[in-house]
Amino acid sequence: MHKSRGVAMRVYVSVDMEGVAGVVSWDQVTPGKSDYMHARGWMIEEANAAIAGAFDGGARHVLVNDSHNGMRNLLPHELDPRATLVSGGLKDYGMMAGLDDTFAAALFIGYHARGGGPGVLAHTWSSRVIGVRLNGQEVGEWGLNAMIAGAFGVPVVMVTGDDCLAKEVREGLPGPVETVVVKRALTKYAAENLPRAAALEAIREGAARALRKVREIPPFRPQPPIALEVDLNATQLADSAAMMPKAERVGPLTVRYTAEDGLEAFRAFLTFMALAAYAD
């Protein structure tokens, strides 16, 4: 029996913040800044809309992973009580912590476009990164995280954020992935946003639709061996990242690692980030 059928359908929800409707500045997504509390509330609302849509679409268990910044943004007492919450920053697979092969599908909520491309607050992991490729394919956080899901055989069936993110996902992930556009990017720091009620309704309806077509969407599985290439924004960062065992320096700003599978490729990416931060 397909794991998306039956009474135990499990759905995974990873929730970021930069792609939430109304969010257009770093102050809004930075804990301690005056605008953060408003954006935090919007993030919780969009997470709850996705949870409700997942149950509408047939889920019997929903696991939500707080995936922004220190990963302590979602307030348990304000989250839909039907969902289980993973929070905290030190966890395996980061934005995909808690995922395993028992899940039928993954939803990405509040995500953003990749670094080096257009989109509201577009970046990949940090400002040190200006590009990431998997076997030559440009990806953002959505691609790295979908690769983790794919390693467990789990398809990403819905992604929400701005129109630039939606375009990247439609071009980069397999199958008819549901993309819910809650804002249209005007610049990196400006957007035309859906009204809150409309954004929440679109997310809920999109999640339900996505789960109803889960059989049509395959997992994202780059062909092994996986060539991970990371472009950094300064030569000293690439100098440091290239010290990683098995790493190759393939350009002034670019390091490469060849991995046997998606999980190894993701761990290599994290190691590149740690080494680059050391040299910054």
pLDDT tens-digit map of 140-172: 999 999 999 999 999 999 999 999 999 999 999
Domains of the chain: total: 2
> Does residue 134 form part of some domain?
no
Amino acid identity, position 229: E
Q: What percent of the chain has pLDDT over 70?
A: 98
Q: Tell me, what's the pLDDT at 3?
A: 57
Asked if residue 180 has pLDDT above 50, the reply is yes
What percent of the chain has a predicted confidence (pLDDT) above 90? 94
Does residue 130 belong to any structural domain of this protein? no
Q: Choose one of 195, 216, 237: the last residue of a domain.
A: 216
Domain ends where: 216, 240, 257?
Answer: 216
Instruction: Quote the pLDDT of residue 148.
Output: 98
Are 52 and 183 members of one domain?
A: yes
Instruction: State yes or no: pLDDT of 4 exceeds 90.
Output: no
Same domain (yes/no): 64, 196: yes
**Separation of alpha carbons 15 and 193, rounded Å:** 18
Q: Check whether residue 251 and residue 116 sit in a common domain.
A: no
Residues 170 and 232 occupy one common structural domain: no
Distance CA 110, CA 100 (A): 22
pLDDT at 11 over 60: yes
Amino acid at the residue 42: W
Tell me the residue range of the domain where 98 lies.
10-123+140-216
Which bin fits 261, alpha (ψ -120 to 50), beta or left (φ > 0)?
A: beta
Segment 109-133 mean pLDDT: 96
Report, as an integer, the average pLDDT of 68-95: 96
Section 118-142 average pLDDT: 96
Domain identity same for 29 and 81: yes
Q: What is the CATH number of the domain that holds 269?
A: 3.30.1360.130
Q: What is the Rg, in whole angstroms, of the alpha carbon atoms belonging to the chain?
A: 18
Summary mean pLDDT of the chain: 96
Active site residues: 123
**CA distance linking residue 24 with residue 183, whole number of Å:** 10
CA dist list (Å): 88 to 20, 91, 124, 275: 20, 7, 20, 22
Whether 110 and 239 share a structural domain: no
Q: How confident is the model at residue 5 (pLDDT cuts 50, 70, 90)?
A: very low
CATH of the domain at 22: 3.40.50.10780
pLDDT given at position 197: 98
- C-alpha–C-alpha distance, residues 175 and 257, integer Å: 27
Residue 5 lies in a domain: no
The arithmetic mean of pLDDT across residues 232-254, rounded, is 96
Q: Does residue 38 fall inside a structural domain? A: yes
Phi and psi at residue 22, to the nearest 5°: 95, -15
- Whether residue 7 is predicted with pLDDT greater than 70 in this model: the reply is no
Note whether 237 and 204 are same-domain residues: no
Examine the pLDDT at 280 and tell me if it is beyond 80: no
Q: What does the pLDDT look like over 215-239, one tens digit per residue?
A: 999 999 999 999 999 999 999 999 9
Q: How far apart are the first and last CA of the chain?
A: 50
